[in-house]
Copies of this chain bind each other. A is one copy, B any other.
Amino acid sequence: MKKDSKNRVIPFFRGQSAANTMKIADTFEFRRGGKLKDVSIAYETWGELDSSKSNVVVIFTGLSASSHVTSSSFNSAAGWWESMVGPGKSIDSDKHFIVCINTLGSCFGSTSPVSMNANTEQPYRLSFPELTVEDMAKASYTLLEKLGISDIKILVGPSLGGMQALAFSIMFNQSVKNTILISTATQATPYAIAIRSLQREVIRKDPDWNNGFYSYENPPLNGVRIARKLGMTSYRSSAEWQQRFGRKKSSSEKLTQNTFGVDNTSFEYEIESYLEHHAVKFQNVFDANCYLYLSRAMDWFDVSDHGKSTQDALAKTCIEKALIIGVTSDTLFPSYQQKEIAECLLQAGTKVDYQELDCIQGHDSFLVDIESFGKKIRNFIQSL
Chain A contacts with B in 217-249, Cβ cutoff 8 A: 222, 226, 229-230, 232-233, 238, 241-242, 244-247
Q: Does A213 contact B (CB under 8 A)?
A: no
Q: Which of B193, B258, B269 contacts A197 (CB 8 A)?
A: B269
**Binding stretch for chain B, among A5-13, A54-62, A157-165, A202-210:** A202-210
A contact residues, total (Cβ < 8 Å): 54
A246 nearest CB neighbor, chain B only: B190
A331 to B331, CA, bound (A): 10
Tell me the dominant secondary structure on chain A's binding face: helix
Q: How far is the CB of A203 from chain B (nearest CB, A)?
A: 9
Q: Does A126 contact B (CB under 8 A)?
A: yes
Q: Mark A332-356, 1 if CB is under 8 A from B, else 0.
A: 0010000000000000000000000
B195 touches A269 (CB 8 A): no
B190 touches A242 (CB 8 A): yes
A16 to B214, CA, bound (A): 40
A130 touches B257 (CB 8 A): yes
Knowing A205-B206, A334-B238, the reply to whether A193 touches B269 (Cβ < 8 A) is yes
Q: Mark A77-119, 1 if CB is under 8 A from B, else 0.
A: 0000000000000000000000000000000000000000000
Q: Which of B189, B246, B269 contacts A238 (CB 8 A)?
A: B189
Q: Does A302 contact B (CB under 8 A)?
A: yes
B331 touches A238 (CB 8 A): yes
Q: How far is the CB of A351 from chain B (nearest CB, A)?
A: 29
A192 nearest CB neighbor, chain B only: B238
A275 nearest CB neighbor, chain B only: B194
Q: Does A267 contact B (CB under 8 A)?
A: yes
Q: How far is the CB of A58 from chain B (nearest CB, A)?
A: 28
Given A190-B270, A200-B261, 18 other A-B residues pairs in contact with their CB atoms under 8 A: A128-B258, A130-B257, A188-B247, A189-B238, A189-B242, A190-B269, A191-B241, A193-B272, A197-B261, A197-B269, A197-B271, A201-B264, A202-B202, A202-B226, A205-B226, A207-B207, A238-B334, A268-B299
By Cβ-Cβ distance, the 7 closest A-B pairs, closest first, are: A191-B238, A190-B271, A190-B241, A190-B245, A205-B222, A197-B272, A126-B258
